Amino acid sequence: MKTLHTFCLAFILLATTICAKADEPTAAKFTRSFTLSSYVTAMVKGQVAGFEAALDPSVTFSVMRGQKIVTYSKEDMLDFMKKNKGVVQNCVTTTTQIQSNADMCVMKVDMKYENFTRSNYITMANTGDGWKITNVHSVFK
């Protein structure tokens, strides 16, 4: 009977440990496609869950405004995204791979609206925590 109790206790501890670990993001989760999908979903559909985890702590966002480049930090972008949570963009989105290797990747995400196109050039790096966005540069045409 004592063996049965010990076995049950060990099983419960094992099950609890597995369940507690299930919610932690892992490096394997952050593939290139997962990270890019997190960005597109946040920008186009306003679904910001998981967006912060896809960003490297040192990420920068820059936007061409005429002849001037305006730069934003991770915190600036997260504040903006939280304020616009749930806003769905009325655009057609396409993604194109520009450059890719085992360590880095540059993707182009075009958001085509009725009167203009926003092109986002996204640089991702294969960090110790999986693929993370390190830079986003946006231009309007």
What are 35-75's pLDDT values in tens digits? Answer: 999 999 999 998 888 889 999 999 999 998 888 999 999 99
Tens digits of residue pLDDT in 84-126? 888 899 999 999 999 999 999 999 999 999 999 999 999 999 9
Q: Are 111 and 120 in contact (CB under 8 A)?
A: yes
Domain positions in the chain: 28-140
Q: Residue 132's pLDDT band (boundaries 50, 70, 90)? A: very high
Q: Which residue has the higher pLDDT, 102 or 8?
A: 102
- Sorted by sequence, the CB contacts under 8 Å of residue 131 that are 6+ apart come out as 30, 31, 32, 34, 35, 105, 124, 125
CA distance 54 to 70: 22
For the domain bounded by 28-140, which CATH number is listed? 3.10.450.50
